Structure 1
Amino acid sequence: MKGGRRQVLDRLPRAGHKDALQRHQLLRVRRRSVAWVPPALLLVCIAAADYNTTGEFRIISWIVLVPGIAAAICGVWGTAVFAVLALVTYVLADAAWSHQYQTGLPDFILVAVGGVLATLACAVRVRGERRMLHMRDIAETTRRTVLRPLPPGWGGLDHAAVYLAADSMARVGGDFYDIQPGPHGTRVLLGDVQGKGLGAVEAAAALLGTFREAGYHEAELATVADRLEVRILRHRGHTAALGRDDGDRFATAALLAFPEDDGGAVDVVLFGHDPPLVVGLHGVRQLPPGDGLPLGLVELAGAGLPPVHRVPLAPGEILLLTTDGVTEARDGDGAFYPLAEDVARAVAADPRTAEPRRLVAFVRDRTLRHCGGRLADDTTVFAVRRRVEGEAGNGRLQS
């Protein structure tokens, strides 16, 4: 994984025929494919070796390896060309020897059949690559739909986020986050749906859709929280009616609001989620843990929805929210990643770390280093603060 680069979210790649070939050529120098070099060198070496060996030890039949190598790294037409070249080279090289040393028709058939099979195998490989690219495009579209791109300064907030799927091929999972500005202030939601797979993505999409509407229209944060709880229950009822076995999903979540009438505070509602860290130039502190249950399980608590807590914030302080892919990351000895302590040391050593984009990149890199790159769960790191004029660098980092 390479960090520090913005993800290009405004382009939707298409897995066309030429695209599949260009994106999956394995060998490139200065953006030019050199995939033809290994089979070409092998062809020349086998022909030269056969010319310099004795008649009792002919190796020209090894030329059947040339289209086989080409099938692994070249396109279909490139493989077909090498199959023909191998056959022609075999005929010329074999004819150069006297009759008693010629390998003759059997090896000719071997090289010809090998070339045909290599070309067919290459066609199957390229077709599989094209299908894989198409599936990746679908996953990327789903990811863009669930985790929509957030413009810089959206809702008057500096923000940065990184999302890492535990399944690197899936590219999308049950973690979700969003910022929704509205007439009653800017609201922020980050959460983690229990479980994995498309069922978790569906639940996350349902909650985000409700948040985007309720977060804009509802004046009270408690009402937004109630709407989220109702939505997860409705979603569970729908999946249960379909006969699916994932009708008991729940989601941990942190719901925040930056009120317009108080520029030095944030309202927080925690649904079984780890409390955010407040990161600033003067250190790191953790907000009090909430006593609420996850979304979908609130009815199990006699007190109902968790309360809304207003927390004071100093100018420039960042709220750092993470999912359990960070807090439950373990090293080789089974020790959890010490997020708060690590961030505090980083800010003390370099105050520039207390900036959303740098902070998110730092937590991402340190989490991956702590667990050796083996993520046990989907991982989201999200940093947000009231916008500081004159600073830039918001957005999603590439995973």
Structure 2
Amino acid sequence: MHSEKVGFGRRFAGLGQLWRSRYALLVIPLVLIVVITVVDLRSPADIHLGPALVIAPAITASFAGPRLTGAMGALALAAQVIIAVFHGGLTTTNHLVQIVTLAVLSVLVVCFCLVRERRDRQLAKVRSVSEAAQHVLLWPLPDQIGPLQISCLYLAAEEEARIGGDLYAATRTEDGVRVMIGDVRGKGLPAVGEAAILLGAFREAAHQHADLPALAAALEHSISRYEADFATSDGDAGEHFATALLLEIPDRSSATQMISCGHPPPLLLTPDHSVSPLSLHPAPPLGVAAMAAADHTPDVAAFHAGDTLLLYTDGVIEARDHDGDFYPLPERIANWTDSSPDVLLHHIRRDLLAHVGGRLDDDAALVAIHRPPTPHPGHRLGKAFHAGGSRQ
């Protein structure tokens, strides 16, 4: 109950601040109307500044809605009438043309505000549905699974979406944790259906198969079974596939098993500030492995206490800046190896968006997994850092 009150108070304070800021900005067009009117009245008869009054409703439209914009247009029109009365007469042809022109332009600006406001409402609905779909499809990962601390990050390339073809999931087994990160072919909303199939298959099969190769084979079977459902009239059957990285992290051993189905290898971050990609022998992506007779033999790597594993999709390492250079993920994270998973992904998110100029060309997902040092006897493991699920 207290948290609900706090949340309501924050939302109310935010709305109040927005309301005050908008009314503070109204001073700008009001001052312009007064200045233009006074200068025009004091200018010679052959100088006409009245047409500049249209600036007032135009500026108002940049931060206010149609009502305030219309009110500002009416004030500008009234100022034009005052100028006409004291500067040659209201019935002169020049002033009549200026009044009619200002009225028409003000109406057009108000119409623009109405269209923009309607589009903003539609966009808000799309984002709301997209956010709901994200929570249904990509379940927020807990901040701690067994002895592991975990955090995740999702950045969608589509402006009106918060989810696309990248995916991740983690589940607890009897003696460890199984994690998957993947990327289906394509991007944006059309890839959501295939991502849903792969996630559902992993959540079910992860508890039914004793080893990682059997799990990979089950996922391959699920993707191949539903491949025809996504074939379009363009005849792209057989071109629907997904890359995936599967991990099995035991509780009492540092030997972590991994199977890469065409997915980039994870990065191992150690307490001595080293960053290195793990050596993998990738199999073909899911959906084409049946044709390639894939070998799902797992690779084994040491994941010691104090280390962090960073899983990512190709949308991260293939992100380009304005010069066309790829994002150098290993070099950038070298200074953050001792950060918690949540803080690490916060740094990467900020740095990645700065690298691409604020907008990605492809969806990007990351999962950071940290194995905390074993606490001394008599000491309890501190509370895990809050991951907060995926971030837009």
Question: Normalization by structure 2: what TM-score?
Answer: 0.81
* Cα distance in 2 for residues equivalent to 1:253 and 1:325: 14
Q: Does 1:278 align with 2:263?
A: no
* Cα distance in 2 for residues equivalent to 1:382 and 1:142: 20
* Cα distance in 2 for residues equivalent to 1:279 and 1:69: 51
Q: Does 1:320 align with 2:305?
A: no
* Cα RMSD after superposing both structures: 3.3
Equivalent position to 1:384, from 361, 369, 384: 369
* Cα distance in 2 for residues equivalent to 1:84 and 1:332: 45
Equivalent position to 2:338, from 352, 365, 386: 352
* Cα distance in 1 for residues equivalent to 2:277 and 2:226: 32
Q: Structure 1 residues 99, 196: closer, same or farther in 2, change over 3 A?
A: closer
Look up the SS of the partner of 1:273 in the other structure. Answer: coil
CA deviations over 1:319-354 (Å, ceiling 9, x no partner): 1111112333456776655444554x426xxx624x
Q: Structure 1 residues 35, 370: closer, same or farther in 2, change over 3 A?
A: closer
* Cα distance in 2 for residues equivalent to 1:98 and 1:357: 70
Deviation at 1:45, TM superposition (A): 1.8
Which of 220-229 and 187-196 deviates more? 220-229
Equivalent position of 2:74 in the other structure: 84
Q: Does 1:34 align with 2:24?
A: yes
Deviation at 1:172, TM superposition (A): 2.5
- The answer (yes or no) to whether the contact 1:199–1:246 under 8 Å persists in 2 is no
Equivalent position of 1:138 in the other structure: 129
- The answer (yes or no) to whether the contact 2:184–2:195 under 8 Å persists in 1 is yes
Which of 167-176 and 46-55 deviates more? 167-176
* Cα distance in 2 for residues equivalent to 1:328 and 1:215: 30
Deviation at 1:174, TM superposition (A): 1.4
Equivalent position to 2:186, from 185, 190, 195: 195
- The answer (yes or no) to whether the contact 1:250–1:297 under 8 Å persists in 2 is yes
* Cα distance in 1 for residues equivalent to 2:168 and 2:127: 21
Equivalent position to 2:298, from 298, 308, 312: 308
* Cα distance in 2 for residues equivalent to 1:297 and 1:316: 37
* Cα distance in 2 for residues equivalent to 1:157 and 1:212: 19
- The answer (yes or no) to whether the contact 2:223–2:241 under 8 Å persists in 1 is yes
Deviation at 1:100, TM superposition (A): 9.1
Equivalent position of 1:225 in the other structure: 216
* Cα distance in 1 for residues equivalent to 2:383 and 2:27: 49
Equivalent position to 2:168, from 167, 174, 177: 177
Equivalent position of 1:163 in the other structure: 154
Look up the SS of the partner of 2:44 in the other structure. Answer: coil
2:338 corresponds to which letter in structure 1? R
Deviation at 1:184, TM superposition (A): 5.7
1:43 corresponds to which letter in structure 2? I
* Cα distance in 2 for residues equivalent to 1:84 and 1:335: 52
Aligned-residue sequence identity (percent) comes to 35
Count of equivalent residues: 370
Equivalent position of 2:229 in the other structure: 238
Equivalent position to 1:254, from 245, 252, 258: 245
Deviation at 1:44, TM superposition (A): 1.3
Look up the SS of the partner of 2:133 in the other structure. Answer: helix
Equivalence map 1:107-122=2 (5 Å) = 107-122=98-113
Look up the SS of the partner of 1:382 in the other structure. Answer: strand
Deviation at 1:356, TM superposition (A): 1.8
Deviation at 1:48, TM superposition (A): 1.3
* Cα distance in 2 for residues equivalent to 1:223 and 1:278: 25
Q: Structure 1 residues 81, 31: closer, same or farther in 2, change over 3 A?
A: closer
- The answer (yes or no) to whether the contact 1:293–1:306 under 8 Å persists in 2 is no
2:386 corresponds to which letter in structure 1? N
Which residues of structure 1 form unaligned runs of 5+?
1-10, 12-18
* Cα distance in 2 for residues equivalent to 1:70 and 1:172: 34
Equivalent position to 1:394, from 378, 382, 386: 386
1:394 corresponds to which letter in structure 2? H
Question: Normalization by structure 1: what TM-score?
Answer: 0.80
Equivalent position of 2:3 in the other structure: none
Deviation at 1:29, TM superposition (A): 8.7
CA deviations over 1:291-335 (Å, ceiling 9, x no partner): 311111111233x44113343321121111111123334567766
- The answer (yes or no) to whether the contact 1:271–1:290 under 8 Å persists in 2 is no
* Cα distance in 2 for residues equivalent to 1:254 and 1:317: 19
